[in-house]
Amino acid sequence: LMSVKRMMEKMGVPKTHLELKKMISEVTGGVSETISYQDFVNVMLGKRSAVLKLVMMFEGKANESNPKPSGPPPERDIASLP
């Protein structure tokens, strides 16, 4: 409980003991008072990560429409420099 409290304080979102207990209970499903590694992974890779994957997929497709040139850059002379 105290390590979660310190982490939240360092993130700038201090919580009371009751808020932390409620948060831990939501993460663990009320089974435990400690967050296991599997619980942590489930929280970090939950619904939000699915949205993140969709955003990244669409960003990747947007970048495909503007392909980057391959190969060495064209030669330039002094006059073409900004």
pLDDT at 32: 82
The tokens describing 17, both together, are 């003991």
The architecture (CATH level 2) of 1-59 comes to Orthogonal Bundle (1.10)
Contacts of residue 27, Cβ cutoff 8 Å, sequence gap at least 6: 35, 39, 40, 42, 43
pLDDT in tens, 14-31: 889 898 888 888 888 888
How confident is the model at residue 78, as a pLDDT? 86
Q: Is the pTM of this model over 0.75?
A: no
In one-letter notation, the amino acid at residue 44 is M
- Hey, what amino acid is at 34? T
> What pLDDT score does 54 carry?
67
Domain boundaries, the chain: 1-59
34-72 pLDDT, tens digit per residue, is: 888 777 767 766 656 666 566 667 766 656 656 667 788
